[in-house]
Amino acid sequence: MTHAKEETVFDQSTVDRAQAIIARYPQARSALLPMLHLVQSVEGYVSQEGIRFCAGQLDLSEAEVSAVATFYTMYKRRPCGEHLVSVCTNTLCAALGGDDIYSALKSHLGVGHEETAGEPGTPGSITLEHAECLAACDLGPVLQVNYEFYDNQTPDKALQLVKALQNGERPAPTRGAPLTDFKQAELQLAGFFEGRDADLDGPSAAPETLRGAQIAEDRGWDAPKMPSNAEFPPIPEKK
């Protein structure tokens, strides 16, 4: 039963992509992280079959693959919805309203952390999670959909966004590439970008992020330049 499922789910195109990932690295085992994203692009999560697939491709034990898959929060052990909604509830975003946003989405969707509203993988299904710092404190509170940013959120704006996703819409992120679904985002994280050239045309850094650099430029501030003859301390010998 297991082998039949692996042959069906992880077809030859997936095997070819796995081998392409392996070819990027001097040692095959270094390909494990992107290969787990490849598995998620196929199944929408890392199943036990996905663990075995990675182990077989990389000549690792299932225990070694499982240790990595269970360590990083980006690898999901239960099937995800069409969209993964991650609400930052770390200190600054929480103080600015992130907790209220998360509570509003929990109430609307009727689910908790890492739970899915709707049948996983089907159109309009949403997996909700609260996330640690999403590295956008200047734009908080923020949330992500499939790892694309939606900045300066409020409970009402977040509810409108999630309702649009449930209705099959894909509102444009504040920054970054046009929104896709969770599986396609995982394929990109695995390193495959076919047909996504236009993603580079999306907005990048926000004015808030660049404000300090702009003030420095306007006021003529400059960091001290490093002397051309600067001496660096010796690098300690590794033991």
Indicate if 122 and 88 belong to the same structural domain: yes
Q: Is residue 91 included in any domain, yes or no?
A: yes
Q: Is residue 214 a part of any domain in this protein?
A: no
Q: What is the CATH number of the domain that holds 42?
A: 1.10.10
User: 29 with 63, same domain?
Assistant: yes
Do 174 and 98 belong to one domain? yes
227: in domain: no
Q: Can you give the CATH number for the domain in which 110 is found?
A: 3.40.30.10
Tell whether 97 and 142 lie within a shared domain.
yes
Render pLDDT for 4-46 as a digit per residue (tens, 0 to 9): 444 568 999 999 999 999 999 999 999 999 999 999 999 999 9
Q: Which domain holds residue 146?
A: 83-181
Kindly report the pTM of this predicted structure.
0.87
* Assigned domain for 193 exists: no
Task: Tell whether 104 and 36 lie within a shared domain.
Answer: no
Percent of the chain with pLDDT over 90: 81
Whether 128 maps to a domain, the answer reads yes
Q: Give the count of domains, the chain.
A: 2
Among 8-22, 93-107, 140-154, 223-237, which stretch is predicted with the lowest mean pLDDT?
223-237
User: Using CA atoms, how far apart are residues 167 and 13, in angstroms rounded to an integer?
Assistant: 31
Domain co-membership, 91 together with 176: yes
Q: What is the pLDDT of residues 109-162, one digit of tens each?
A: 999 999 999 999 999 999 999 999 999 999 999 999 999 999 999 999 999 999
174 assigned to some structural domain? yes
Residue 87 lies in a domain: yes
Structure-token pair, residue 135: 């590295």
Looking at the domain assignment, is residue 196 inside a domain? no
Same domain, 159 and 105: yes
Residue 7 is predicted with a pLDDT of 53
The answer on 99 and 67 residing in a single domain is no
Q: What torsion do the CA atoms of 154, 119, 186, 102 make, to the nearest 10 degrees?
A: 20
pLDDT band at 198 (very low <50, low <70, confident <90, very high): confident
Residues 170 and 97 reside in one and the same domain: yes
Q: What is the pLDDT of residue 6?
A: 43
**Which residues in 157-180 are b (16+ Cβ under 10 Å) and which e?**
ebbebbeebbeeeeeebbbbbebb
pLDDT at 3 over 60: no
Residues 117, 176 share a domain: yes
**Do 49 and 99 sit in the same domain of this protein?**
no
